[in-house]
Chains A and B, each alone.
Chain A
């Protein structure tokens, strides 16, 4: 093997070399960006849960009412969301007995309907772990989180809209509460957001219930990969429970997420196949151009294996260069995609605003795309480009088998 000959050939046919390197690099860049995008969507879907510190949210939706007479006559005052009916004592015992649960927190979510609109109210128990709605106590913007009866904290934008500051008072369902703080909901945690936060006993009081009323349970798992098993356990023990996880968001995302999830492999393989076909095509044309040289090499005693080695190293070098360039391009594309924010649709049962309020407040989480190119993805891309190089080199080598020096010289 004489490496300067390989380099001289690549430099001499620089246009073809460039086309091959760019072809592979586009294929590799496509492979990296599609896969990075796919992972980013999955990460984004998990972001609301990650920010809440919970793996699962357990709720119970109201049963379908076929009898119109059973519908409430008035939609005023304090109501339980349709998707958040109260759990029974037995339900809570069943949940408490579940294995593989690392932490659990309970909350009571209420809606208050007034003439002018509605508010969502989250009652939390400060004695419980900081999961879900309880995370809000870590997101104080001004003042403090309520720790006594009769105190509330308002979500920052809600407070601004209502022109209420800490130190003032606020009326809920005819009762006056002291506003002790405002809360800034972190990105991705909108799913656990409410307009008003208070102690769970105050929320129970508003609902007219005494102790034990709970309609939201946040669970942190010891091993998040056991999510599906625990989901089915809960479903079997608590009839009618709806259990949401990051998968619930992914299912609703559809569109790009479906493409990236289901078709990312196919799309990236098509990209790579395109790159491989391109290099085979250009190198085959190259072979036709170089048949004279190959005739000389064969006449001078180069065996098919010698020529195949030469061609394989040539394609290998181009594949490596294309692979490295492709990885750089993939990083660049991924970096640029990282500036995008995506809208994650919230499952309806987790939208803590009434469904009729969709016009005013979309049930979406806006999350910055958490895109990143992992070392393993880069290594896979590099491995694939090497495979492309080896396969095309082998195919080209096989094609030289039929080339006879005497035939080539006769055609000159």
Chain B
């Protein structure tokens, strides 16, 4: 199987503090991998580097053989728009926009028919079983609904890989299970590659591979 993501000798320092230390890893196409580790182990920073949200101090990252390490901010933005989907612990929805508009957010700068854009967003919300909440703002949605909107948004640009940073961190166990089911479904049925950060060992156990991090290093 081909590697969708390859990282080599990644390091990241904030002034004197080195939070990621010489990390090398690969994610295979269609793999559901999980980064686990204690708080402060550097997993969120590593995820940010791998997804192009942040540049490493040292090392290289390539997705589908395209290096993103030397890309400009503008190129990274376009890369995130076209290749990557994000799901965050705090959902990160725009409060003034309704659910379908939040889903369509990555498509707004793209020249496309607004009806097609809306249709695609609503279809994804229907897939997430919250189509009836399409016109609601985030403030009137539950945590689980917000995360479903965030997952729909991650899928709207038909990405090659989804990066999920503690996607169940702010949810109760029942809702967490439902969100994990959606992610697993995306992975198994759609063949979507997913790299998820969590500190929940039970959730991690249900993924294809667990990558352990400790003190900024991948330990297993």
Contacts and interface: CB of A to CB of B under 8 A. Distances in A.
Interface of A: 1-2, 4-5, 8-9, 12, 292-293, 295-306, 401, 404-406, 409, 412
Nearest to B14: A410
B76 to A, nearest CB: 9
The 9 closest A-B pairs by CB, nearest first: A301-B81, A406-B54, A2-B108, A306-B109, A301-B80, A8-B96, A300-B106, A303-B77, A406-B48
6 contacts: A5-B101, A12-B96, A300-B153, A301-B109, A301-B157, A303-B77
A352 to B, nearest CB: 71
A9 B80 contact: no
Contact of A409 (B92, B95, B105, B153): B92
Interface of B: 45, 48, 53-54, 73-74, 77-82, 84, 86, 88, 90, 92-97, 101, 105-106, 108-109, 153, 157
Give the interface centre of B74, B90, B108 by most chain A CB atoms within 10 Å: B108
Nearest to A407: B54
B86 A300 contact: yes
B54 A9 contact: no
Contacts of A300: 80-81, 86, 105-106, 153
A302 B96 contact: no
Contact of A303 (B53, B88, B109): B109
B65 to A, nearest CB: 20
B77 A412 contact: no
Contacts of B96: 5, 8-9, 12
Nearest to B93: A296
Contacts of B48: 406
Contact of A404 (B54, B86, B153): B54
A299 B73 CA distance: 11
Contact of A296 (B54, B82, B105, B109): B105
Nearest to A301: B81
Contacts of A299: 53, 80, 86, 92
A404 B51 CA distance: 13
